[in-house]
Structure 1
Amino acid sequence: MKTDSLGNDWFYNAVNDSMRISTRALPCEFWIFGNISDTSFITATVSRIEVETVFGISDSTKIISFKAASIQNDSVFCDLGMTTLKLSKHFGLLQSIGFYEYQLSLNGYPVILNLAGISDPELGVRNLGSRDVYHYDPGDEFSTMHKEESFNRHYYDFMFWRILRAEWSPDIDSVTYLVDQWEHTYGNDNISGSYDHYQRDTIELVYDFNSIYINCVDACSGQDYHGDRYQKLTSAYNGRIVKEAPRLSYIK
């Protein structure tokens, strides 16, 4: 999307067709929204202006309707003609279409989008951020399983995590978790033969929200993550082998 000096917002779809919204248009004023073909086009008109409450604020909203015509000014059927857009004075498009997916030449019914919230200032519905997703409380528990099966290797790893402590930085840009980790690993391969052991560790897990990658305590099957999902052996890693299997149904 781009905006020109005349107050036109230009939107482009996947095949680079342009669609224009005239933000300064007055009631009953119309403009060419986009071209269906070399011989037909769609016009947009400000049908009326309404006053409504948007995110708790009284706001004026332009209702924009559409119709299609040929260059001979004959009416042409267009699914967009059954759609209206809402343009708010303070918040922009309240009701819109999926411009990128909509192809004028195919004359299909567009996807309707409604504005649910904004980020600055935070009003309405807010998208989840990394601080929300990776906000754990002491006592939270996670169970994960990782397995590899091939002709000469069978590997199974069951992991149980319990959050013991959470310490947030003063600027809320990072959080450090103290985690109680139980692990059961077993399998066999051509080099090591068969193995089956348990391990219990207390680890520190740091989530830096200014970093591109975050170590996932709750990695899921098929989830993309960077590097190893386990904490590396450092001075913050207190490792000890557990001789007896922990009495946890998650990893038995």
Structure 2
Amino acid sequence: MVKLIFFSIILMFFCMATYAQDWQCLKTDRITFFSSDSTNIRSIRIDSIINHSDTIDYICFKMLRENPFQTECFTKNGDSWMGKKFRVLPNGNNVFYNKINKPIYIKTKAQYGETWFFYSYTNSNSYYIEAKISSIDTMNIFGVNDSIKIISLQLKDSNNNNVNYVTEWDSIYIINTSQLILSKTFGLVQIIDFLKFPINNIIEIDFDMYGTGYIYKLIGITNPPLGYKNITSTDIFDFDINDEIHTQDISSYSNYYPYGHSIQKIEKYISKITSENEDTITYTIERCYYTSTYDHGFIDSSAFRDTILFKFIKSASQYNILNSLSGEPSLNGGSWTFNISNLSSKYYGGENIFEPNFYDSTCLNRMYYDPVFYNYFYKGLGGPFYHYYNSITQQEVKKQIVYYKKGTVEFGSPYDCNTLLYVKNNLFINNCCRIFPNPTSKFLHVETIQNTDYSFVVQIENIQNKKCIKQEFINNTNIDISSFSKGMYIVKIFSKTNFEAHKIIIE
């Protein structure tokens, strides 16, 4: 009998604990992932808990934010997009706090049609926001058919009338069309940026270093692991034997400095060895490589094949930024930054790099670099990849994937290794010139497709990359090749804006 009573008490407490988590906005024992459009992921991870006499406050991981009291000064201990804190009240209701520490109330136990005071504007007795349970339904969430409550918002005036327009606010419709969706099991499955709330101006959404967006939908959790999971460096540098990655790396300065550099590369993974502690993976990579440089009328190129070893060490500090959650501050080479995650990639850099102020170490200054680079990393494809173009100077710097093969999946147009070893086509832009006849035995005619007022240089090399002839021309030229031996040759043409190569046969 005593055992039965004891078991009943334990069961009662278990049921009460389980019920207490029902309809709670955030499940605090897990990391949750949200996305506005699958290209901008927001994360929530509770890092600290503060117990009061009758309430519990949950604090999310900190984010880089501008100090409101000091111009051009940022801190790595700023508030999360979830708000300053998330509070659970004794009656089960939940409260979020925005950037000015104003409460946002959610009655988690409210029933259909019930309304409540959601938010009151600071220094204004004229407006407030009312919340209403506009629907109770079911939704399939991660394969679970769960009960949900849809919470609709409406701006009201002091006479409780609906307000759809205020002169100084250009985004009232955002508030009045916003909906939160609360799941019994998973908490909020559609959530707003509580730190920004309420949005009164569109600019607050469009200009945010963490990406645009205001309403986010649940896409993954960690406990249990369902849906999206945080991409880490292990996912990014996860290659299998026979995987191939073909890349193009270009740097060109067209208007003010006639310089260009290009690399075309094929990398094939031919072996993979994992260390006993599983911290290090050593890949053997077979490469086929072509590089070419143009500098003030002089061209230099080389092509080769080789085999290299690449060691990926999971615990290396250089990967901390990739292992962090989306938006989480990370120290990267002496600077603070954060990554922004998509469903299958991450990127960081650009204007989101912050360094300690020389005179005040508590203040981080935003660094502005020219050109602005964002480093992109892709799941199973490595990185970094990037692309920058300056329309004024026509400077272009990029490294991009042109083709990959992973298992049975292929994307893009592959390079041919034999072609890379002997001839390079269309390094920077589409063909600028016509070359004919081909094959030829006496003369080779070269002409530009469009007339220009600047000069080109044409250079003919044999397949051993030995220069046979070089001359300058504007718009067109005839080259005497009657003394050349029979065989295949490479015709390279370059100017301040172009560099291309063609294969010809001399008979």
Q: TM-score, normalised by structure 1?
A: 0.69
- In structure 2, the residue matched to 1:168 is 274
When residues 169 and 24 of structure 1 are mapped into structure 2, their CA distance, relative to the original with a 3 A threshold, is: farther
Larger radius of gyration: 2
Distance 1:87 1:169, change over 3 A: farther
Match of 1:200 among 305, 309, 313: 305
Q: Bigger CA drift: 197-206 or 46-55? A: 46-55
Q: Is 1:93 aligned to 2:188, yes or no?
A: yes
Residues 124-203 of structure 1 aligned to structure 2 (within 5 Å): 124-149=227-252, 151=257, 153-169=259-275, 173-187=279-293, 195-203=300-308
- Tell me the distance in 1 between the aligned counterparts of 2:131 and 2:276: 51
Instruction: Specify every segment of 5 or more residues in structure 2 that has no aligned partner in the other structure, as ranges.
Output: 1-82, 165-171, 206-212, 320-376, 389-398, 400-416, 425-507
2:163 is matched by which residue type in structure 1? V
- Any conservation in 2 of the 1:62–1:87 contact (CA below 8 Å)? yes
RMSD of aligned Cα (Å): 3.8
* 1:210 paired residue number: 315
The alignment partner of 2:387 has SS state of coil
Aligned length: 227
Hey, what does 1:9 align to over in structure 2? 95
Deviation at 1:136, TM superposition (A): 1.7
Q: Residues 43 and 156 (structure 1 numbering): CA distance in 2 closer, same or farther, change over 3 Å? A: same
1:79-123 CA distance string (max 9 Å, x none): 333443211122111123344565443499985432222233221
> 1:81 aligned to 159, 170, 176, which one?
176
For the 8 Å contact 2:88–2:95, the answer to whether it is kept is no
CA distance in 1, matches of 2:233, 2:386: 19
Structure 1 SS opposite 2:234 = helix
Q: Tell me if the contact between 1:141 and 1:163 (Cα under 8 Å) persists in the aligned partners.
A: yes
Q: How far apart in 1 are the matches of 2:154 and 2:163?
A: 8
Question: 1:169 Cα shift?
Answer: 4.3
Query: Could you say which residue in structure 2 is the equivalent of 1:40?
Result: 127
- The equivalent residue for 1:247 is 418
Q: Secondary structure at the match of 1:220?
A: strand
Q: CA 1:22–1:133 in structure 2 vs 1: closer, same or farther (change >3 Å)?
A: same
1:22 aligns with 2:114: no
Rounded to whole Å, the distance in 1 between the matches of 2:387 and 2:303 is 25
Report if aligned partners of 1:156, 1:185 keep a CA contact under 8 Å in 2: yes
Higher relative contact order (CA 8 A, sep 6+): 2
Structure 1 stretches of 5 or more lacking a match?
224-228, 230-245
Structure 1 contact 36–105 (Cα < 8 Å) conserved: no
Residue deviations 1:133-176, cap 9 Å, x none? 32222222222233444537543333221111123345654422
